[in-house]
A and B are shown apart, each in its own frame.
Chain A
Amino acid sequence: DTAVSQTPKYLVTQMGNDKSIKCEQNLGHDTMYWYKQDSKKFLKIMFSYNNKELIINETVPNRFSPKSPDKAHLNLHINSLELGDSAVYFCASSQFQALSSGNTIYFGEGSWLTVV
């Protein structure tokens, strides 16, 4: 039973298209995240939501719009896709905002986005 699940796992699309990645967690966590891992495996936070409220919004182009319909779901919509958007996008969740040894981040398996 997957704790943090995201779909699709693989996505190949053309430049200029709009696409969405969906994420669901069944852990009952309050906080969800989107991270981006580039081709060099560098991981960087994009957004964080706590109880459906946006709390972290890194310097991400406004073509990227997260939406949290409820605290178990955090979707990522990307408009006008560019070649540089090709990356692996990880959804994650934690029980609370404050990270500690008792409150860790659980990552999904990633969505591989390739823009051609």
Chain B
Amino acid sequence: QQQVKQSPQSLIVQKGGISIINCAYENTAFDYFPWYQQFPGKGPALLIAIRPDVSEKKEGRFTISFNKSAKQFSLHIMDSQPGDSATYFCAATNTGGGNKLTFGTGTQLKVEL
């Protein structure tokens, strides 16, 4: 059972545009939602994370929007740059129940010049 659904599978954005990746979860016990960025040949690296007690978190060009009632959260990359081209994973976990990160299926982002 896929507990975290991620879309789109791939995304092409022009340089300077906004990249938006969406995730939806089923388990209401999830209370920590990180986003990871993975470049080819590398391991995933934490980009930004949010807890469900806030609706938005911004770090530089990266923003997470969180909708607890809809059980959805999204990553917005403002002013997208070619260096942002990577695979992005949303994830979720219940920090009180084992801290097992459940990942989304990933979005391959390509930012074109």
A interface, CB within 8 angstroms of B: 4, 40-45, 48, 55-56, 58, 90, 92, 97-101, 104-110
Q: Count how many chain B residues have C-beta atoms less than 8 Å from C-beta atoms of the other chain.
A: 23
Which residue of chain B is the closest to A31 with respect to CB atoms? B99
Say yes or no: A99 contacts B32, CB within 8 Å. yes
Number of A-B contacts (CB under 8 A): 58
Which residue of chain B is the closest to A99 with respect to CB atoms? B99
Which secondary structure characterizes the binding site on chain B? loop
Say yes or no: B103 contacts A43, CB within 8 Å. yes
Q: Which residues of B contact A43 (CB under 8 A)?
A: 44, 89, 103, 106
Closest chain-A Cβ to B111's Cβ sits at a distance in Å of 18
The 8 Å CB contact of B100, one of A56, A101, A110, is A56
CA distance A92 to B91 in the complex (A): 15
Closest chain-A Cβ to B54's Cβ sits at a distance in Å of 11
